[in-house]
Structure 1
Amino acid sequence: MGLPPFLFIDVCVQTHGREVVFGPADAFLALFDRDGVLKRGAAPTVQIEADALISRRWRWILVEKEVRRGHPLEALASYHAEVLEPLTELLRLRYAPHKTGYGLKHVYTDLPAEVTRDLESLYALTRPEELPGGMERAGRWMDELASTLT
């Protein structure tokens, strides 16, 4: 048929009952919305989002807790969820503020190459003894980002 193998069409059919609000960067085409339930929401300010991400830093203790308990998989999961995901979102706020909430999707096109290389090096850490060093590097990077975003 000549279509790319990775082309997806997302179809959503719902009954009435709630408004559907899309973010500023969400692309959508409504074929039928007779009652106008689809809305485009306003983006929260960069400062509000940055402050919320930075305020989660106290949760980094969960990584250390799992390292000390000898639970490498849980330590790694906490490292990704509590350290790298907020860092990635702060980087998005800095370089692609119109695309927050995307996680790592499109990271290579949304962030500068040197930033993605540095981020890759933090994601590449897998051994429990490496995680404290990664957290230290991520913390310094978050401090730099915080001073430019807030």
Structure 2
Amino acid sequence: MADLAPADLSRYDDWLDWLRRRAAADDDVRVVWVGGSAATGGYDDWSDIDVEVLVTPGTHDEVYERWLAGIRADFEVDHVWELPREVWPDGRQCFVNHQARAGLLEEPTRLVDLHLSSLSDEHRFVDVRRHGTPIVLHDPEGLVQLRDDDPEAMAAAIASALEQVRQRRATGEWLVARALARGHLAEALDLYLRFGLGPVVRMLRVRHCPWRHDYGLRYLDTDLPPDVAARVVALVPGAVGAAPLAELSPLCFAWYDELLAEL
């Protein structure tokens, strides 16, 4: 990954200061860093900040609850979206919204994605190709290590994903075509993205950025060559100048076959 200019996180200075102070005062908190677009690139006025917190194993629930209580006490918070506990077996996650409707984009975004995990090698080893270089705020023990993900595990995950892509190709095209023939446009759109365009992008990622093979339609402008990304966008229903879905689908599945043959 090319060197990036440091992101201007000044509108989150109060948060960065709070995180440093809170981590230093909490014996169960071992590591805190900022990731997401601030680390990978693309950070702008509409970006949130992604905060990763590693805690003493088994304390993630307790730390999460007291940190969330502290956030509500110390910040003006409009609302919090808390993900269900079962989403992360060894952690907790929430999105702290300072604005009632950040989606209006009337002012720079103030939104924090807070993810706590129990300390483990899985979480403290960071592949910068996938996640960017973390902006470390607290790590007195030097626990964060930058290293590539296990290539054998990555290869196995890619092989499994590609086998599914291969197996469901004909069924996926049938599902989309049937929905279109029945006039069920909303269903057809959902199926097209899941069984047509999604697998195409998965195969493109395997070729151009295997370390982010499972990132879906995000970051196309940075992860794929410009001409390839433009070809993907041209297959997105509703894009400027895009053909109707009934015309896009055959084009998408034709590309699907080309990539399958090459991979």
Q: TM-score range by the shorter chain?
A: 0.7 to 0.9
Q: Which has the higher contact order (CA 8 A, sep 6+)?
A: 1
The answer to whether residue 216 in structure 2 is matched with residue 103 in structure 1 is: yes
User: Taking every aligned residue pair, what percent have the same amino acid on both sides?
Assistant: 23
Give the alignment partner of residue 261 of structure 2, picking from 137, 147, 150.
Answer: 147
1:12–1:148 distance in 2 versus 1, CA, 3 Å? same
Amino acid at match of 2:178: K
Which residue of 1 is the match for residue 165 of structure 2?
A: 53
Which residue of 2 is the match for residue 2 of structure 1?
A: 10
Give the alignment partner of residue 44 of structure 1, picking from 150, 155, 161.
Answer: 155
Which residue of 1 is the match for residue 145 of structure 2?
A: none
* Between 11-20 and 65-74, the greater mean CA deviation after superposition: 11-20
**Gaps in structure 1 of 5+ consecutive residues:** 34-39
1:143–1:13 distance in 2 versus 1, CA, 3 Å? same
* Cα deviation digits, residues 25-79 of structure 1 (max 9, x gap): 345679499xxxxxx5521344443222222211222212222222211111111
* Cα deviation digits, residues 87-130 of structure 1 (max 9, x gap): 1111111111111111121110111111111111111358xx93
The count of aligned residue pairs is: 145
1:75–1:10 distance in 2 versus 1, CA, 3 Å? same
Which residue of 2 is the match for residue 90 of structure 1?
A: 203
Q: Distance in 2 between matches of 1:131 and 1:93?
A: 26
The structure in which a higher percent of residues are helix is 1
The structure in which a higher percent of residues are strand is 2
Deviation at 1:12? 4.6
Normalised to the residue count of structure 1, the TM-score between the two structures is: 0.73
Q: Distance in 2 between matches of 1:51 and 1:69?
A: 30
The answer to whether residue 194 in structure 2 is matched with residue 76 in structure 1 is: no
Q: Distance in 1 between matches of 2:222 and 2:167?
A: 27
SS class of match (2:256): helix
1:7–1:32 distance in 2 versus 1, CA, 3 Å? farther
Amino acid at match of 2:253: G
Amino acid at match of 1:44: A
Q: Distance in 1 between matches of 2:262 and 2:236?
A: 23
Contact 1:63 1:78 survives alignment (8 Å): yes
Please give the residue correspondences for 1:107-122 in structure 2 after superposition, counting only pairs within 5 Å.
Answer: 107-122=220-235
Normalised to the residue count of structure 2, the TM-score between the two structures is: 0.45
Amino acid at match of 1:113: P
* Between 9-18 and 75-84, the greater mean CA deviation after superposition: 9-18
**Gaps in structure 2 of 5+ consecutive residues:** 1-8, 12-43, 59-88, 91-119, 142-148
Q: Distance in 1 between matches of 2:232 and 2:168?
A: 19
What is the root-mean-square deviation of aligned Cα atoms in Å? 3.5
1:20–1:125 distance in 2 versus 1, CA, 3 Å? farther
